[in-house]
Copies of this chain bind each other. A is one copy, B any other.
Amino acid sequence: MSATTEPRARRRRRPRPGGGGGARQVDYRTLRNPFPPVPAFSDDAAGQMHATALRVLEELGMKILLPEARALFRTAGARVDEASEMVWIGRDIVEAALATAPKSFTLRAGAKARDIVLELGRLAIQPGAGAPHATDLKRGRRPGRLEDFRELLMLTQHFDALHMLPPLVEPQDIPPHERHYAMTEAELTLSDKVPFVFSRGAGQVADCFEMIAGARGLGAEAFSKEPWCYTIVNTNSPRQIDIPMAMGLIDFARAGQMTIVTPFCLMGAMAPATVAGALTLSHAEALAAITLAQIAGPGAPVCYGAFASNVDMKSGAPAFGTPEQVQANLGAGQLARLVGLPWRSAAGCAANINDAQAAHETQMSAWGAILGGATVLLHGAGWIEGGLTVSYEKLITDMEMIQTFAELCTPPAEDAGAIAFEALQEVPPGGHFFGASHTMERYQAAFYEPLVADWSNFGTWSERGGLTASERATGIWEGILKGFTPPDALGDRRGWLESFIAKRRAEGGAAPES
């Protein structure tokens, strides 16, 4: 089914595919955001925030810790002070960078059907990422291990409504100088979706590029013509880019690979205690990083990013799913549309367990991202404890929400058959539609079938053990892992990958930069 890849106007006129008598068929692989973007600010104010961000870069400057990055900024005309590591970036430099950054590009996956187009209006979803811990109801909360990373990759591969692989948990049982081999190998062997690479220094990045290019059967030049992987660069808010992040921006841009630039601006902590102020800072930092990427590799694919929420002003604890995060997600979308780039937003939750708080916070922030017109929704499933843990059960219960969003990307049928005058004629007053021909033609495919929701009544649910959604989710992820068959994205290049990794390990691996 390709309905979701068509322009909205055409799709609207068409009955839902699978609306006939057959079994329900859905395609969550290619999504377009069905909602018109909702602004948080007036257009004037969004323009002021953009202008203020340019002023911040020009007058206040950024601290750029990597000498090579400062040199690149200098060649582009920026004022640089080597002693303080400060760089002042004129608006003409930023504008030139925005002119070369592509507004639409295709992330290439291990299978054609997994390729992802990133541009405003599209929607790609990722599960929770970057957590030091994993947790599930069977084995408890523990520091992330390679086994956890691999299992969570399998769950990510399983769900079509998850489109890109993130670094779900940190495999801390693998030494840092070899961790990137294990992670990339897992991504390439367990999934055919777009892989992630950490920006932890030139050595690791070069290794990962070589593995991914080899796995896709590409030489270095063919690899650099399209983005086959991506990294995420977080600035050190306020107004600082550290060494590995700057290296990542440069290396990914030069290799034509995609960078998601995400300042993480917690209002009241690393950013002003206002939505507008935090977004202005975030915007300035995103523009600085995008500019560095475009100076290093003009035309390199970059994704604008924003991750702004607030802290609890009593404790300093980060909060998610708050009204302020929703407004920040909406406002960040306005700034992304001003620069015309695909953009990354996020869901989030600060809850410590997969309960009603976790679900409410996650969905509230996800709606902010969706209504903000985000192209990439990060942390859409499983993220808990403000990102310190990925929960297997929460990944499953959140997927109900994610699949509901994916369903909403296909508008309801609106043809005469759907409006159903004949069915209304067939059923008498006070009757029912269970056996109506209109229902019989549609019942197998009419509605979304839930993943984990239990719609049985209280008596039946109690007889079945009275399990919470989290408790039911355990059996679901166990079943997915048990039945998991990896895709054959590598073919006969698997042996090459294994020997490359063995060789590099023997050579001592590559230590991360810091």
A positions within 8 Å CB-CB of B: 12-13, 19, 35-36, 38, 40-42, 45, 48-49, 52, 55-56, 60-63, 86, 141, 236, 238-240, 267-277, 280-281, 284, 310-313, 315-319, 321-324, 326-327, 331, 350-361, 363-364, 367, 371, 385-386, 388-389, 394, 397-398, 400-401, 404, 407-408, 411-414, 416-421, 423-425, 427-434, 436, 438-439, 442-444, 446-448, 450, 452-458, 461-462, 466, 468-470
- Cβ–Cβ contact A364 & B361, under 8 A: no
Question: Closest residue to A311 on the B side, CB-wise?
Answer: B447
- Cβ–Cβ contact B280 & A424, under 8 A: yes
Q: Beyond the given A40-B411, A357-B397, please list 8 additional residue pairs across the A-B interface where CB-CB is below 8 A.
A: A270-B432, A272-B420, A273-B443, A276-B412, A313-B446, A350-B454, A363-B367, A388-B458
Residues of B within 8 A of A401 (CB): 360, 364
Residues of B within 8 A of A356 (CB): 354-356, 358-359, 394, 397, 468-470
- Cβ–Cβ contact A41 & B363, under 8 A: no
Q: How far is the CA of A49 from the CA of B413 in the complex (A)?
A: 12
- Cβ–Cβ contact A41 & B411, under 8 A: yes
The residue that A447 contacts in the complex, of B42, B313, B326, B416, with Cβ under 8 A, is B313
Residues of B within 8 A of A443 (CB): 268, 273, 313
- Cβ–Cβ contact A41 & B414, under 8 A: yes
Residues of B within 8 A of A385 (CB): 457-458
Residues of B within 8 A of A458 (CB): 141, 352, 385, 388-389
Question: Closest residue to A446 on the B side, CB-wise?
Answer: B273
Question: Closest residue to A274 on the B side, CB-wise?
Answer: B418
- Cβ–Cβ contact B313 & A268, under 8 A: no
Contact (A351, B457) CB under 8 Å given A359-B359, A400-B357: no
- Cβ–Cβ contact A352 & B55, under 8 A: no
CB distance from A49 to the nearest CB of B (A): 6
- Cβ–Cβ contact A419 & B277, under 8 A: yes
CB distance from A82 to the nearest CB of B (A): 15
CB distance from A369 to the nearest CB of B (A): 13
- Cβ–Cβ contact B412 & A331, under 8 A: yes
Q: Identify 18 residue pairs between A and B in the complex whose beta-carbon atoms are under 8 Å apart, listed by A's number.
A: A41-B414, A45-B414, A238-B432, A239-B424, A269-B433, A276-B413, A277-B419, A277-B423, A318-B455, A319-B455, A326-B404, A355-B355, A356-B356, A357-B452, A358-B469, A360-B400, A367-B367, A386-B455
Residues of B within 8 A of A281 (CB): 420, 424
- Cβ–Cβ contact B62 & A267, under 8 A: no
The residue that A433 contacts in the complex, of B240, B273, B404, B417, with Cβ under 8 A, is B273
Q: How far is the CA of A350 from the CA of B61 in the complex (A)?
A: 54
- Cβ–Cβ contact A363 & B355, under 8 A: no
- Cβ–Cβ contact B446 & A269, under 8 A: no
